[in-house]
Structure 1
Amino acid sequence: MVGALPGESSHYGNSESGPSRSSQDRPEDGGRWYFSRKEIEENSPSRRDNIDLKKEMYLRKSYCTFLQDLGMRLKVPQVTIATAIIFCHRFFIRQSHVKNDRRTIATVCMFLAGKVEETPRPLKDVILVSYEIMHKKDPAAAQRIKQKEVYEQQKELILLGERAVLATLGFDLNVHHPYKPLVEAIKKFKVAQNALAQVAWNFVNDGLRTSLCLQFKPHHIAAGAIFLAAKFLKVKLPSDGEKVWWQEFDVTPRQLEG
Protein backbone atom coordinates (compact mmCIF):
# COMPACT_ATOMS: atom_id res chain seq x y z
CA MET A 1 0.00 0.00 0.00
CA VAL A 2 1.32 3.40 -0.99
CA GLY A 3 1.27 6.01 1.78
CA ALA A 4 -1.81 8.19 1.59
CA LEU A 5 -2.24 11.85 2.36
CA PRO A 6 -3.07 12.79 5.94
CA GLY A 7 -6.67 11.97 6.77
CA GLU A 8 -7.24 9.65 3.82
CA SER A 9 -6.55 5.93 3.74
CA SER A 10 -5.80 5.24 0.09
CA HIS A 11 -3.43 3.49 -2.26
CA TYR A 12 -2.93 3.42 -5.99
CA GLY A 13 -4.42 0.87 -8.35
CA ASN A 14 -2.52 0.07 -11.51
CA SER A 15 -4.87 -2.23 -13.38
CA GLU A 16 -7.54 -0.89 -15.70
CA SER A 17 -10.82 -1.87 -14.13
CA GLY A 18 -13.41 0.53 -15.52
CA PRO A 19 -15.81 0.19 -18.43
CA SER A 20 -14.07 -1.53 -21.33
CA ARG A 21 -13.83 -0.27 -24.89
CA SER A 22 -14.16 -2.30 -28.05
CA SER A 23 -11.04 -3.17 -30.00
CA GLN A 24 -12.67 -1.31 -32.90
CA ASP A 25 -12.21 2.01 -31.08
CA ARG A 26 -9.32 3.91 -32.56
CA PRO A 27 -6.82 5.20 -29.97
CA GLU A 28 -5.70 7.95 -32.35
CA ASP A 29 -9.11 9.63 -32.19
CA GLY A 30 -9.49 9.05 -28.46
CA GLY A 31 -12.16 6.40 -28.97
CA ARG A 32 -11.00 4.47 -25.95
CA TRP A 33 -12.05 7.34 -23.70
CA TYR A 34 -15.71 7.64 -24.67
CA PHE A 35 -18.46 5.88 -22.74
CA SER A 36 -22.21 5.92 -22.45
CA ARG A 37 -23.80 7.73 -19.54
CA LYS A 38 -25.03 4.38 -18.24
CA GLU A 39 -21.51 2.92 -18.27
CA ILE A 40 -20.16 5.91 -16.35
CA GLU A 41 -22.94 6.00 -13.80
CA GLU A 42 -23.39 2.28 -13.20
CA ASN A 43 -20.10 0.53 -14.00
CA SER A 44 -17.38 2.76 -12.58
CA PRO A 45 -14.71 1.15 -10.36
CA SER A 46 -15.87 3.38 -7.50
CA ARG A 47 -19.39 2.01 -7.80
CA ARG A 48 -18.02 -1.50 -7.33
CA ASP A 49 -16.32 -0.24 -4.17
CA ASN A 50 -19.69 0.93 -2.82
CA ILE A 51 -19.34 4.63 -3.61
CA ASP A 52 -22.75 5.72 -4.86
CA LEU A 53 -23.35 8.03 -7.82
CA LYS A 54 -24.04 11.12 -5.71
CA LYS A 55 -20.81 10.66 -3.76
CA GLU A 56 -18.78 10.11 -6.92
CA MET A 57 -20.23 13.24 -8.50
CA TYR A 58 -19.19 15.16 -5.37
CA LEU A 59 -15.66 13.72 -5.55
CA ARG A 60 -15.44 14.62 -9.25
CA LYS A 61 -16.43 18.22 -8.61
CA SER A 62 -14.08 18.31 -5.65
CA TYR A 63 -10.95 17.46 -7.63
CA CYS A 64 -12.04 19.81 -10.43
CA THR A 65 -12.30 22.69 -7.95
CA PHE A 66 -8.93 21.69 -6.52
CA LEU A 67 -7.34 21.70 -9.99
CA GLN A 68 -8.87 25.05 -10.92
CA ASP A 69 -7.42 26.58 -7.75
CA LEU A 70 -4.06 24.86 -8.25
CA GLY A 71 -3.82 25.97 -11.87
CA MET A 72 -4.67 29.58 -11.06
CA ARG A 73 -2.09 29.73 -8.27
CA LEU A 74 0.52 28.21 -10.59
CA LYS A 75 -0.52 30.77 -13.25
CA VAL A 76 -1.06 28.22 -16.02
CA PRO A 77 -3.53 28.80 -18.90
CA GLN A 78 -7.09 27.50 -18.74
CA VAL A 79 -6.26 24.93 -21.42
CA THR A 80 -3.64 23.39 -19.12
CA ILE A 81 -6.17 23.22 -16.28
CA ALA A 82 -8.68 21.61 -18.64
CA THR A 83 -6.13 19.00 -19.72
CA ALA A 84 -5.35 18.17 -16.09
CA ILE A 85 -9.07 17.76 -15.36
CA ILE A 86 -9.54 15.43 -18.33
CA PHE A 87 -6.55 13.33 -17.23
CA CYS A 88 -8.23 13.03 -13.83
CA HIS A 89 -11.58 12.07 -15.33
CA ARG A 90 -9.90 9.40 -17.44
CA PHE A 91 -7.99 8.05 -14.47
CA PHE A 92 -11.09 7.69 -12.32
CA ILE A 93 -13.10 6.00 -15.06
CA ARG A 94 -10.48 3.24 -14.74
CA GLN A 95 -9.64 3.41 -11.04
CA SER A 96 -11.60 3.64 -7.79
CA HIS A 97 -11.73 6.65 -5.49
CA VAL A 98 -11.53 4.20 -2.59
CA LYS A 99 -8.03 3.14 -3.59
CA ASN A 100 -6.68 6.48 -4.85
CA ASP A 101 -6.43 9.86 -3.14
CA ARG A 102 -8.10 12.31 -5.52
CA ARG A 103 -5.94 15.28 -4.53
CA THR A 104 -2.69 13.40 -5.06
CA ILE A 105 -3.90 12.16 -8.44
CA ALA A 106 -5.06 15.67 -9.34
CA THR A 107 -1.64 17.09 -8.43
CA VAL A 108 0.02 14.51 -10.67
CA CYS A 109 -2.38 15.37 -13.50
CA MET A 110 -1.54 19.08 -13.23
CA PHE A 111 2.18 18.33 -13.35
CA LEU A 112 1.69 16.14 -16.45
CA ALA A 113 -0.67 18.63 -18.12
CA GLY A 114 1.90 21.38 -17.74
CA LYS A 115 4.40 19.32 -19.70
CA VAL A 116 1.88 18.21 -22.34
CA GLU A 117 0.61 21.75 -22.97
CA GLU A 118 4.15 23.18 -22.94
CA THR A 119 3.45 25.28 -19.85
CA PRO A 120 5.54 23.26 -17.37
CA ARG A 121 5.92 24.22 -13.75
CA PRO A 122 8.74 22.85 -11.57
CA LEU A 123 7.69 19.78 -9.58
CA LYS A 124 8.69 21.53 -6.37
CA ASP A 125 6.34 24.45 -7.08
CA VAL A 126 3.48 22.08 -7.90
CA ILE A 127 4.01 20.16 -4.67
CA LEU A 128 4.31 23.26 -2.47
CA VAL A 129 1.20 24.95 -3.84
CA SER A 130 -0.78 21.70 -3.86
CA TYR A 131 0.07 21.01 -0.22
CA GLU A 132 -0.92 24.52 0.82
CA ILE A 133 -4.32 24.13 -0.89
CA MET A 134 -4.88 20.73 0.72
CA HIS A 135 -4.18 22.22 4.14
CA LYS A 136 -5.52 25.74 3.59
CA LYS A 137 -7.23 25.72 7.00
CA ASP A 138 -3.89 25.06 8.68
CA PRO A 139 -1.79 28.26 9.00
CA ALA A 140 1.35 26.20 9.66
CA ALA A 141 1.09 24.18 6.43
CA ALA A 142 3.07 26.63 4.28
CA GLN A 143 6.05 26.35 6.62
CA ARG A 144 5.67 22.63 7.30
CA ILE A 145 5.94 21.64 3.63
CA LYS A 146 9.28 23.45 3.47
CA GLN A 147 10.73 20.97 5.95
CA LYS A 148 12.83 18.45 4.05
CA GLU A 149 11.22 15.35 5.56
CA VAL A 150 7.66 16.53 4.85
CA TYR A 151 8.54 17.70 1.34
CA GLU A 152 10.30 14.44 0.45
CA GLN A 153 7.30 12.46 1.68
CA GLN A 154 4.99 14.47 -0.57
CA LYS A 155 7.39 14.19 -3.49
CA GLU A 156 7.46 10.40 -3.13
CA LEU A 157 3.64 10.30 -3.16
CA ILE A 158 3.52 12.38 -6.34
CA LEU A 159 6.17 10.29 -8.11
CA LEU A 160 4.35 7.07 -7.18
CA GLY A 161 1.12 8.67 -8.34
CA GLU A 162 2.70 9.70 -11.64
CA ARG A 163 3.56 6.10 -12.44
CA ALA A 164 0.01 5.03 -11.56
CA VAL A 165 -1.55 7.74 -13.73
CA LEU A 166 0.68 7.02 -16.73
CA ALA A 167 0.02 3.29 -16.46
CA THR A 168 -3.74 3.80 -16.13
CA LEU A 169 -3.84 6.19 -19.10
CA GLY A 170 -1.74 3.76 -21.10
CA PHE A 171 0.69 6.66 -21.67
CA ASP A 172 -2.02 8.21 -23.86
CA LEU A 173 -1.68 11.93 -23.13
CA ASN A 174 -3.46 13.06 -26.28
CA VAL A 175 -6.23 15.52 -25.41
CA HIS A 176 -8.33 17.79 -27.63
CA HIS A 177 -10.56 20.53 -26.24
CA PRO A 178 -13.76 22.23 -27.45
CA TYR A 179 -12.18 25.70 -27.25
CA LYS A 180 -10.66 25.81 -30.75
CA PRO A 181 -13.70 24.60 -32.75
CA LEU A 182 -15.90 26.84 -30.60
CA VAL A 183 -13.91 30.00 -31.33
CA GLU A 184 -13.46 29.17 -35.02
CA ALA A 185 -17.21 28.66 -35.48
CA ILE A 186 -18.20 31.84 -33.66
CA LYS A 187 -15.82 33.90 -35.80
CA LYS A 188 -17.96 32.98 -38.81
CA PHE A 189 -21.23 34.09 -37.25
CA LYS A 190 -20.61 37.84 -37.20
CA VAL A 191 -23.31 38.27 -34.53
CA ALA A 192 -22.59 39.10 -30.89
CA GLN A 193 -19.22 37.41 -31.26
CA ASN A 194 -17.65 38.53 -28.00
CA ALA A 195 -20.65 37.84 -25.79
CA LEU A 196 -21.40 34.54 -27.51
CA ALA A 197 -17.79 33.39 -27.21
CA GLN A 198 -17.56 34.33 -23.53
CA VAL A 199 -20.80 32.63 -22.50
CA ALA A 200 -20.08 29.53 -24.59
CA TRP A 201 -16.56 29.36 -23.15
CA ASN A 202 -18.04 29.49 -19.65
CA PHE A 203 -20.42 26.65 -20.50
CA VAL A 204 -17.46 24.56 -21.67
CA ASN A 205 -15.62 25.25 -18.42
CA ASP A 206 -18.71 24.37 -16.38
CA GLY A 207 -18.99 21.12 -18.32
CA LEU A 208 -15.48 20.14 -17.27
CA ARG A 209 -16.80 19.45 -13.78
CA THR A 210 -19.06 16.73 -15.18
CA SER A 211 -18.46 13.54 -17.16
CA LEU A 212 -19.34 15.20 -20.50
CA CYS A 213 -15.81 14.84 -21.87
CA LEU A 214 -16.10 11.08 -21.32
CA GLN A 215 -19.35 10.96 -23.30
CA PHE A 216 -18.96 13.43 -26.17
CA LYS A 217 -16.18 14.51 -28.52
CA PRO A 218 -14.85 18.08 -28.28
CA HIS A 219 -16.64 19.42 -31.37
CA HIS A 220 -19.96 18.09 -30.06
CA ILE A 221 -19.38 19.82 -26.72
CA ALA A 222 -18.48 23.02 -28.59
CA ALA A 223 -21.74 22.84 -30.56
CA GLY A 224 -23.73 22.30 -27.39
CA ALA A 225 -22.03 25.25 -25.68
CA ILE A 226 -22.78 27.54 -28.64
CA PHE A 227 -26.39 26.38 -28.71
CA LEU A 228 -26.84 27.05 -24.98
CA ALA A 229 -25.05 30.40 -25.20
CA ALA A 230 -27.30 31.53 -28.05
CA LYS A 231 -30.40 30.56 -26.08
CA PHE A 232 -29.09 32.31 -22.97
CA LEU A 233 -28.32 35.51 -24.88
CA LYS A 234 -31.44 35.22 -27.09
CA VAL A 235 -29.23 35.44 -30.18
CA LYS A 236 -30.43 33.96 -33.47
CA LEU A 237 -27.58 32.04 -35.04
CA PRO A 238 -27.18 32.64 -38.79
CA SER A 239 -27.61 30.05 -41.50
CA ASP A 240 -25.78 30.03 -44.82
CA GLY A 241 -28.31 29.17 -47.50
CA GLU A 242 -29.49 25.62 -46.95
CA LYS A 243 -26.65 24.82 -44.56
CA VAL A 244 -27.30 25.74 -40.95
CA TRP A 245 -24.55 26.34 -38.39
CA TRP A 246 -24.82 23.06 -36.49
CA GLN A 247 -24.18 20.90 -39.57
CA GLU A 248 -20.56 21.97 -39.39
CA PHE A 249 -20.28 20.12 -36.07
CA ASP A 250 -21.85 16.89 -37.33
CA VAL A 251 -24.69 17.08 -34.81
CA THR A 252 -28.46 17.10 -35.11
CA PRO A 253 -30.99 19.51 -33.56
CA ARG A 254 -32.27 16.61 -31.46
CA GLN A 255 -28.80 16.04 -30.00
CA LEU A 256 -28.46 19.73 -29.20
CA GLU A 257 -31.84 19.87 -27.50
CA GLY A 258 -30.96 16.77 -25.48
Structure 2
Amino acid sequence: YSGVEYEQYAFLNRATGPYWWAYWAMMSCNVFSPQFMWFKKLRTSIMFSFFISIVVNIGMWFERFVIIVTSLHRDYLPSSWTMFSPTFVDIGIFIGTIGFFFVLFLLYARTFPVIAQAEVKSILKSSGERYKKLREAGKPLYKIEKMNVLTVKEEPITDDVLMGEVVPAKDNDQSVSELLSSIGTFDSATQKPDDLKKIKGVGPQMEATLNDIGIFTFAQVGRMTKREYDLLDSITESFPGRAQRDDWAGQARLLSSKNTNK
Protein backbone atom coordinates (compact mmCIF):
# COMPACT_ATOMS: atom_id res chain seq x y z
CA TYR A 1 0.00 0.00 0.00
CA SER A 2 2.89 2.37 0.68
CA GLY A 3 4.56 1.82 -2.68
CA VAL A 4 7.70 0.36 -1.09
CA GLU A 5 9.48 -1.99 -3.48
CA TYR A 6 9.61 -4.73 -0.85
CA GLU A 7 5.83 -4.62 -0.43
CA GLN A 8 5.33 -4.62 -4.19
CA TYR A 9 7.57 -7.65 -4.55
CA ALA A 10 5.73 -9.48 -1.75
CA PHE A 11 2.42 -8.92 -3.53
CA LEU A 12 3.68 -9.93 -6.98
CA ASN A 13 5.45 -12.94 -5.51
CA ARG A 14 2.16 -14.20 -4.10
CA ALA A 15 0.46 -14.00 -7.50
CA THR A 16 3.35 -15.09 -9.76
CA GLY A 17 5.88 -16.78 -7.46
CA PRO A 18 6.38 -20.45 -6.61
CA TYR A 19 3.14 -20.51 -4.60
CA TRP A 20 1.01 -18.86 -7.26
CA TRP A 21 -1.37 -21.84 -7.19
CA ALA A 22 -2.28 -21.15 -3.55
CA TYR A 23 -2.94 -17.47 -4.24
CA TRP A 24 -5.19 -18.12 -7.23
CA ALA A 25 -6.97 -20.92 -5.40
CA MET A 26 -7.72 -18.41 -2.65
CA MET A 27 -8.98 -15.82 -5.15
CA SER A 28 -11.11 -18.39 -6.99
CA CYS A 29 -12.76 -19.70 -3.82
CA ASN A 30 -13.25 -16.40 -1.96
CA VAL A 31 -13.76 -13.87 -4.76
CA PHE A 32 -14.86 -15.55 -7.98
CA SER A 33 -17.12 -18.37 -6.74
CA PRO A 34 -19.46 -16.13 -4.65
CA GLN A 35 -20.28 -14.14 -7.81
CA PHE A 36 -22.68 -16.92 -8.77
CA MET A 37 -24.89 -15.71 -5.93
CA TRP A 38 -25.94 -12.78 -8.12
CA PHE A 39 -28.31 -15.19 -9.88
CA LYS A 40 -31.54 -15.64 -7.96
CA LYS A 41 -32.07 -19.21 -9.13
CA LEU A 42 -28.68 -20.22 -7.71
CA ARG A 43 -28.79 -18.29 -4.43
CA THR A 44 -32.23 -19.68 -3.63
CA SER A 45 -30.98 -23.25 -4.08
CA ILE A 46 -30.11 -24.89 -0.77
CA MET A 47 -27.69 -27.39 -2.32
CA PHE A 48 -25.85 -24.72 -4.31
CA SER A 49 -25.60 -22.44 -1.26
CA PHE A 50 -24.17 -25.35 0.74
CA PHE A 51 -21.65 -26.08 -2.03
CA ILE A 52 -20.55 -22.42 -2.15
CA SER A 53 -20.14 -22.36 1.64
CA ILE A 54 -17.77 -25.35 1.45
CA VAL A 55 -15.80 -23.69 -1.36
CA VAL A 56 -15.47 -20.48 0.67
CA ASN A 57 -14.24 -22.47 3.69
CA ILE A 58 -11.56 -24.05 1.51
CA GLY A 59 -10.63 -20.59 0.26
CA MET A 60 -10.23 -19.35 3.82
CA TRP A 61 -7.73 -22.15 4.47
CA PHE A 62 -5.76 -21.11 1.38
CA GLU A 63 -5.85 -17.51 2.63
CA ARG A 64 -4.06 -18.52 5.84
CA PHE A 65 -1.61 -20.56 3.80
CA VAL A 66 -0.84 -17.58 1.54
CA ILE A 67 -0.45 -15.18 4.46
CA ILE A 68 1.95 -17.40 6.40
CA VAL A 69 3.91 -19.44 3.85
CA THR A 70 4.43 -16.90 1.07
CA SER A 71 5.38 -14.26 3.64
CA LEU A 72 8.06 -16.44 5.25
CA HIS A 73 9.60 -18.34 2.34
CA ARG A 74 11.03 -15.10 0.84
CA ASP A 75 12.75 -13.12 3.59
CA TYR A 76 14.84 -9.97 3.21
CA LEU A 77 18.04 -12.03 2.94
CA PRO A 78 18.30 -14.27 -0.14
CA SER A 79 20.32 -16.70 1.92
CA SER A 80 17.23 -17.42 4.03
CA TRP A 81 14.97 -18.13 1.03
CA THR A 82 13.49 -21.61 1.13
CA MET A 83 10.47 -23.67 0.13
CA PHE A 84 7.92 -24.87 2.63
CA SER A 85 7.76 -28.61 3.20
CA PRO A 86 5.32 -29.77 5.90
CA THR A 87 6.62 -31.98 8.67
CA PHE A 88 4.70 -34.70 10.49
CA VAL A 89 3.79 -32.09 13.11
CA ASP A 90 2.13 -29.84 10.53
CA ILE A 91 0.25 -32.74 8.98
CA GLY A 92 -0.80 -34.00 12.42
CA ILE A 93 -2.12 -30.61 13.48
CA PHE A 94 -4.07 -30.28 10.23
CA ILE A 95 -5.68 -33.70 10.58
CA GLY A 96 -6.28 -33.10 14.28
CA THR A 97 -8.22 -29.92 13.67
CA ILE A 98 -10.48 -31.74 11.21
CA GLY A 99 -10.96 -34.58 13.68
CA PHE A 100 -11.68 -32.18 16.53
CA PHE A 101 -14.35 -30.50 14.41
CA PHE A 102 -16.11 -33.80 13.75
CA VAL A 103 -15.93 -34.70 17.45
CA LEU A 104 -17.73 -31.49 18.39
CA PHE A 105 -20.20 -31.92 15.53
CA LEU A 106 -21.09 -35.48 16.51
CA LEU A 107 -21.48 -34.47 20.15
CA TYR A 108 -23.89 -31.77 19.06
CA ALA A 109 -25.66 -34.24 16.76
CA ARG A 110 -26.75 -36.21 19.83
CA THR A 111 -29.14 -33.37 20.66
CA PHE A 112 -30.73 -33.25 17.20
CA PRO A 113 -34.54 -33.51 17.35
CA VAL A 114 -35.71 -37.02 16.50
CA ILE A 115 -38.53 -37.16 13.96
CA ALA A 116 -40.02 -40.48 12.92
CA GLN A 117 -39.77 -41.11 9.17
CA ALA A 118 -43.27 -42.60 9.13
CA GLU A 119 -44.65 -39.39 10.60
CA VAL A 120 -42.89 -37.28 7.99
CA LYS A 121 -44.17 -39.47 5.17
CA SER A 122 -47.73 -39.30 6.47
CA ILE A 123 -47.55 -35.51 6.54
CA LEU A 124 -46.20 -35.38 3.00
CA LYS A 125 -48.90 -37.73 1.74
CA SER A 126 -51.70 -35.73 3.32
CA SER A 127 -50.47 -32.30 2.30
CA GLY A 128 -48.02 -32.59 -0.57
CA GLU A 129 -50.22 -34.62 -2.92
CA ARG A 130 -53.04 -32.10 -2.66
CA TYR A 131 -50.81 -29.24 -3.79
CA LYS A 132 -49.37 -31.34 -6.61
CA LYS A 133 -52.85 -32.04 -7.96
CA LEU A 134 -53.83 -28.38 -7.70
CA ARG A 135 -50.65 -27.34 -9.50
CA GLU A 136 -51.21 -29.86 -12.29
CA ALA A 137 -54.80 -28.68 -12.72
CA GLY A 138 -53.66 -25.06 -12.89
CA LYS A 139 -55.72 -24.07 -9.87
CA PRO A 140 -54.53 -21.65 -7.20
CA LEU A 141 -52.85 -23.18 -4.16
CA TYR A 142 -54.80 -20.96 -1.80
CA LYS A 143 -58.43 -20.09 -1.29
CA ILE A 144 -59.77 -16.75 -0.13
CA GLU A 145 -62.68 -17.18 2.22
CA LYS A 146 -65.67 -14.94 1.64
CA MET A 147 -66.08 -12.43 4.41
CA ASN A 148 -69.51 -11.59 5.77
CA VAL A 149 -69.91 -7.82 5.77
CA LEU A 150 -71.46 -6.55 8.97
CA THR A 151 -73.60 -3.48 8.42
CA VAL A 152 -73.76 -1.14 11.38
CA LYS A 153 -76.61 1.30 11.44
CA GLU A 154 -75.55 4.69 12.69
CA GLU A 155 -77.93 6.21 15.20
CA PRO A 156 -78.48 9.97 15.09
CA ILE A 157 -76.85 12.11 17.74
CA THR A 158 -79.51 13.37 20.11
CA ASP A 159 -79.49 16.32 22.46
CA ASP A 160 -78.46 14.19 25.44
CA VAL A 161 -75.15 13.12 23.86
CA LEU A 162 -72.62 15.58 22.47
CA MET A 163 -68.84 15.13 22.07
CA GLY A 164 -68.80 12.17 24.43
CA GLU A 165 -70.34 14.10 27.34
CA VAL A 166 -73.91 13.95 28.50
CA VAL A 167 -76.09 17.02 28.74
CA PRO A 168 -78.42 17.11 31.74
CA ALA A 169 -81.63 15.29 31.03
CA LYS A 170 -84.94 17.09 31.21
CA ASP A 171 -86.20 14.98 34.15
CA ASN A 172 -83.27 15.94 36.43
CA ASP A 173 -84.82 19.22 37.54
CA GLN A 174 -85.18 18.01 41.13
CA SER A 175 -81.53 16.94 41.33
CA VAL A 176 -80.41 20.23 39.75
CA SER A 177 -82.47 22.23 42.24
CA GLU A 178 -81.06 20.23 45.14
CA LEU A 179 -77.50 20.74 43.87
CA LEU A 180 -77.92 24.50 43.37
CA SER A 181 -79.53 24.88 46.79
CA SER A 182 -76.34 23.46 48.31
CA ILE A 183 -73.70 25.32 46.30
CA GLY A 184 -75.67 28.48 45.58
CA THR A 185 -77.17 30.01 42.46
CA PHE A 186 -75.64 32.39 39.96
CA ASP A 187 -77.01 35.92 39.53
CA SER A 188 -76.03 37.25 36.13
CA ALA A 189 -76.94 40.80 37.17
CA THR A 190 -74.46 41.02 40.04
CA GLN A 191 -71.97 38.22 39.35
CA LYS A 192 -69.49 37.55 36.59
CA PRO A 193 -68.95 33.98 35.29
CA ASP A 194 -65.52 32.44 35.79
CA ASP A 195 -63.48 30.44 33.29
CA LEU A 196 -64.21 26.95 34.60
CA LYS A 197 -61.84 25.44 32.05
CA LYS A 198 -58.98 26.42 34.35
CA ILE A 199 -60.04 23.54 36.60
CA LYS A 200 -58.19 20.36 35.71
CA GLY A 201 -60.63 17.90 34.14
CA VAL A 202 -63.05 20.54 32.86
CA GLY A 203 -63.02 21.01 29.12
CA PRO A 204 -65.11 23.25 26.87
CA GLN A 205 -67.96 20.74 26.68
CA MET A 206 -67.99 20.05 30.42
CA GLU A 207 -67.99 23.78 31.07
CA ALA A 208 -71.04 24.09 28.84
CA THR A 209 -72.65 21.22 30.75
CA LEU A 210 -71.99 22.93 34.09
CA ASN A 211 -73.40 26.19 32.72
CA ASP A 212 -76.56 24.38 31.62
CA ILE A 213 -76.94 23.13 35.18
CA GLY A 214 -76.43 26.66 36.53
CA ILE A 215 -72.83 26.48 37.71
CA PHE A 216 -70.79 29.47 36.50
CA THR A 217 -68.35 30.46 39.25
CA PHE A 218 -65.43 29.02 41.18
CA ALA A 219 -67.30 29.79 44.40
CA GLN A 220 -70.10 27.41 43.45
CA VAL A 221 -67.68 24.60 42.56
CA GLY A 222 -65.67 25.28 45.73
CA ARG A 223 -68.70 24.50 47.93
CA MET A 224 -68.99 20.95 46.56
CA THR A 225 -68.62 18.01 48.92
CA LYS A 226 -69.07 14.29 48.36
CA ARG A 227 -72.85 14.74 48.36
CA GLU A 228 -72.69 17.41 45.66
CA TYR A 229 -70.23 15.32 43.65
CA ASP A 230 -72.69 12.42 43.69
CA LEU A 231 -75.53 14.70 42.62
CA LEU A 232 -73.41 16.06 39.77
CA ASP A 233 -72.56 12.53 38.60
CA SER A 234 -76.23 11.53 38.68
CA ILE A 235 -77.14 14.56 36.58
CA THR A 236 -74.41 14.33 33.94
CA GLU A 237 -74.05 10.52 33.98
CA SER A 238 -70.58 10.93 32.46
CA PHE A 239 -67.15 10.13 33.92
CA PRO A 240 -68.47 9.27 37.40
CA GLY A 241 -66.09 10.16 40.19
CA ARG A 242 -63.90 12.39 38.06
CA ALA A 243 -64.86 15.61 39.84
CA GLN A 244 -64.05 14.18 43.25
CA ARG A 245 -60.92 12.43 41.99
CA ASP A 246 -59.53 15.64 40.47
CA ASP A 247 -60.66 17.67 43.53
CA TRP A 248 -62.59 20.29 41.60
CA ALA A 249 -63.65 21.99 44.84
CA GLY A 250 -60.08 22.40 46.05
CA GLN A 251 -58.95 23.70 42.68
CA ALA A 252 -61.90 26.10 42.51
CA ARG A 253 -61.19 27.53 46.00
CA LEU A 254 -57.55 28.09 45.03
CA LEU A 255 -58.51 29.80 41.78
CA SER A 256 -61.15 31.88 43.57
CA SER A 257 -58.60 33.09 46.13
CA LYS A 258 -56.23 34.07 43.33
CA ASN A 259 -58.98 36.11 41.67
CA THR A 260 -59.75 37.80 45.00
CA ASN A 261 -56.09 38.73 45.55
CA LYS A 262 -55.95 40.29 42.11
Q: Quick one: higher RCO (CA 8 Å, sep 6+), 1 or 2?
A: 1
Q: Give the TM-score of the pair, scaled to structure 2.
A: 0.22
Q: Give the TM-score of the pair, scaled to structure 1.
A: 0.23
Based on CA coordinates, which of the two structures has the bigger radius of gyration? 2
